[in-house]
Amino acid sequence: MELYWIAALSGAVICGFIGSALLSEYDKAGTGFLCGFLLGPIGLILVWAERDKEIRAASERRAVAVATPTGVRDETPCPFCAEPILRAAKVCRYCHRDLPAPSTPPAREPRRTVTRHFR
């Protein structure tokens, strides 16, 4: 019986260390350790999902940095809702309306004009 508790405790500690190692890169080593220690393999699955989320968020941040090499976002107010959006945007992130191409004057799409009548 004593052996069982030693095995369970060392398993929990090992899972805790694996969890903390997985999230240490994202300043969440404590959270990773707790998840692994308290929940064991299930906690490690949660830790893995959290790590996946962090990796995706980091790659999104990188994509923004690549789009603006100077570090300054090239923004312009949306012609419809006036919220600041990227000049290269094709759809407004706030009002989700299609934006006219940057250099050409706003062209009216016949299909959109029709849908507007029904609003």
**Pairing relationship of beta strands 75-77 and 84-86 according to DSSP bridges:** antiparallel
State which residue, 62 or 112, has the beta carbon closest to Zn ion: 112
Residue whose C-alpha is closest to residue 102's, from 88, 115, 117, 91: 88
**Do residues 22 and 51 make contact, with C-beta atoms less than 8 angstroms apart?**
yes
Q: Which residues bind Zn ion (CB under 5 A)?
A: 78, 80-81, 92, 94-95
Q: Least distance (Å) from Zn ion to the CB of residue 91?
A: 9
State which residue, 30 or 79, has the beta carbon closest to Zn ion: 79
Q: Least distance (Å) from Zn ion to the CB of residue 107?
A: 17
Q: According to DSSP H, which parts of the chain are helical?
A: 2-23, 29-39, 41-67, 110-117
Q: Least distance (Å) from Zn ion to the CB of residue 47?
A: 38
Q: Least distance (Å) from Zn ion to the CB of residue 65?
A: 24
* Partners of residue 75 on adjacent β-strands: 86
State which residue, 30 or 84, has the beta carbon closest to Zn ion: 84
State which residue, 52 or 75, has the beta carbon closest to Zn ion: 75
* Distance separating alpha carbons of residues 113 and 38, to the nearest angstrom: 58
